[in-house]
Chain A
Amino acid sequence: DIQMTQSPSSLSASVGDRVTITCRASQGISNSLAWYQQKPGKAPKLLLYAASRLESGVPSRFSGSGSGTDYTLTISSLQPEDFATYYCQQYYSTTYTFGQGTKLEIK
């Protein structure tokens, strides 16, 4: 199975900050990467797919980049509603795998 290593596991930041979360795959996944946001007690919500394509309705302050094995999610200016846990997911293989999550907390 493809292993997804996400970092950091937690992050404290302030409203207005720019933050970056990294996801590394154990092998190349050809941009077959999605990012999700999850708030407590809620289902995950799709933010980006194909590494950099923004899902409809998601604010443009979210962006994604990367290639090969290394990918990043960037939030350009944190808003209060962005404090949540973020997960990456590879769909290069049908045995899908997720990163372990990054909890974004208010500083």
Chain B
Amino acid sequence: EVQLVESGGGLVKPGGSLRLSCAASGFTFSSYSMNWVRQAPGKGLEWVSSISSSSSYIYYADSVKGRFTISRDNAKNSLYLQMNSLRAEDTAVYYCARDPGLPPDWFDPWGQGTLVTVSS
């Protein structure tokens, strides 16, 4: 079974940092592009960042560019999101999601999400 499990969320003060992880299982992780998508409380979905299978191509939403860094470790079947200079507006559930084919592509499956709260 294909599975994505996020971790690392929590409460952080404005200006702080947090590193999210996404553990993948049930598929050949190194063959797929991966993504982070977030959802602020009561709001819609916002794509955050994408990384290709070999980390050759990386993309960011303008809202996080220069503050967030996406990375992956194919040997550990893991995806990461390093979040620096956090702001209140970064408060959201963060989902990791797989590109099922050649990007750009739709997202399937998604993890269950991890909540990041930025507040003093």
Looking at the complex, which of A19-27, A42-50, A66-74, A75-83 is the stretch in contact with chain B?
A42-50
SS class, residues of chain B in contact with chain A: loop
A-B contact pairs, 14 of them (CB 8 A): A36-B45, A36-B107, A43-B109, A44-B107, A46-B107, A46-B108, A49-B108, A89-B107, A91-B103, A95-B61, A96-B47, A96-B50, A98-B47, A99-B44
Q: Give residues in A with beta carbon < 8 Å to B.
A: 1, 32, 34, 36, 38, 42-46, 49, 55, 87, 89, 91-101
The residues of A that contact B26 with a CB separation of less than 8 Å are none
Q: Give residues in B with beta carbon < 8 Å to A.
A: 35, 44-47, 50, 57, 59, 61-62, 95, 103-113
The residues of A that contact B35 with a CB separation of less than 8 Å are 96
Contact of B108 among A55, A87, A93, A95 (CB under 8 A): A55
The residues of B that contact A46 with a CB separation of less than 8 Å are 106-109
Residue of chain A at shortest CB distance from B101: A49
How near does chain B come to A32, taking the closest CB pair, in angstroms? 7
Counting residue pairs across A and B whose Cβ atoms lie within 8 Å, the total is 58
Contact B95 A95 (CB under 8 A): no
SS class, residues of chain A in contact with chain B: loop
The residues of B that contact A96 with a CB separation of less than 8 Å are 35, 47, 50, 104
The residues of A that contact B111 with a CB separation of less than 8 Å are 43
Q: A34-B106, A94-B103, A95-B59 are in contact. Are A101 and B44 (CB under 8 A)?
A: yes
Task: Tell me, in angstroms, the Cα distance from A38 to B113 when the chains sit together.
Answer: 13
Contact B50 A43 (CB under 8 A): no
